[in-house]
Amino acid sequence: MGEVIRVLHILQRMEAGGTQALLMNIYRNIDRNKLQFDFLVEYPEKQFYDDEICSLGGEIYYTSVREDFNIIKFQNQLTNILLENKNYKIVHMHTYSIGYFCLRIAEKCGVPVRIAHSHSNSMTQDYKKYIKYILQRLYTIHATDLFACSQDAGRYLFKHKKFHVLTNAIDSSKFVANTLMRETIRKELNISNKFVIGHVGRFQPEKNHDFLLEIFMEIRRKRNDAVLLLVGSGNLKSQIITKVNLMSLTNNVLFLDNRRDMNRIYQAMDVFLFPSLYEGLGIVAVEAQASGIPVVGSERIPKEVEISPLYKHLSLDNSAEMWASESIEFAHNVYSHSNMQRYIINAGFDINTVVSEIENYYIESAEIAKMK
């Protein structure tokens, strides 16, 4: 047996998010006799996937760069890690904010394969936007390869440079519609006789929870049996809870923390609303369709997720009332809660396809680098 190739993934943290779900789906399914994943994160706190990473043989390097903003200290930490672990042939970068610094250090330490990966097709317009623009432009300087989760995400961050789209993938066999599972989870959540609107995503500005609540208020005016299921965590969660209370929706909105049984949670829904301001891809929309759930998403979500008859997009310029009417009608008119696995596989979103692709890429890249 040859030497195991170790890949160091660098990202904010291994929380329950789309990028992290992709990495874990790949990690669970790769041949770990050939490849092993380690993770360097920007926060010192333990996160959602950490225990599983350790159980699979991976190592997690914790830093505090997002809290103390000490980039010199961070670069010294990364330098020491790479010099002490010469078997890192690949550094795979998933965040542009410190990407320039990480890939520069990786090149300096002799890591031959350095990947800059784009996971978004826009950014939050706040007071830090000019710094973000600069960091985006610097991101690719020391990269050998450019990856993106969608065409939109690649064009946004890399402009006219050549990049490879690595599809965010799921284990489609776990998300097949299941009537018994649907009845069971709806009973557990005490929503058996309800019209269930679902949403999965971090409580961050780009997920547009404020507009989602406006849509739900309009749905409630049309369907008094409607409930809203919100799954996730994030900085704005307490703010959204407060707004729900002020809108007198407390008894109609269920807040669920990050879950490890999302394949069950989707089954409880009648329609999935996804009014994001922007998304790199929006893998939860694929998971919902795989589960047989109709999805109504904003026009700002990459077209790659429109993979079945269960997907419909609307403009964010439309009123909340129109979103409500269209969502109710769509949920009633499409043939939902049926087996959609063939659509997932045909669109290239099944994990088996992507694992084979990335596994071959890592191994071939490491072999080519060895010959240089």
- pLDDT, average across residues 233-238: 95
Return the closest-CA partner of residue 340 out of 306, 290, 269: 290
Return the closest-CA partner of residue 151 out of 252, 275, 302: 302
Q: What is the pLDDT of residues 189-209, one digit of tens each?
A: 999 999 999 999 999 999 999
Q: What is the pLDDT of residues 209-226, one digit of tens each?
A: 999 999 999 999 999 999
pTM over 0.85: yes
Strand runs labelled E in the chain: 5-11, 35-41, 60-62, 88-93, 113-118, 145-148, 164-165, 195-200, 226-231, 253-256, 271-274, 295-298, 311-314
Which residue type sits at 246?
L
Percentage of the chain beyond pLDDT 70 is 97
Listed by start position, the domains of the chain span 5-169+350-371, 172-346
DSSP-assigned beta bridge partners for residue 228: 197, 253
Identical topology for domains 5-169+350-371 and 172-346: yes
- CATH code that applies to domain 172-346: 3.40.50.2000
Which tops the pLDDT comparison, 219 or 129?
219
* Axis crossing angle, helix 283-290 with helix 18-29, rounded to the nearest 10: 60
Please determine, for residue 108, whether its predicted confidence score (pLDDT) is greater than 60: yes
Please determine, for residue 14, whether its predicted confidence score (pLDDT) is greater than 80: yes
Q: What is the largest CA-CA distance in the chain?
A: 67
Q: What is the pLDDT of residue 363?
A: 94
Q: Does domain 5-169+350-371 have CATH number 3.30.428.10?
A: no
Q: What is the pLDDT of residue 266?
A: 97
Percentage of the chain beyond pLDDT 90 is 88
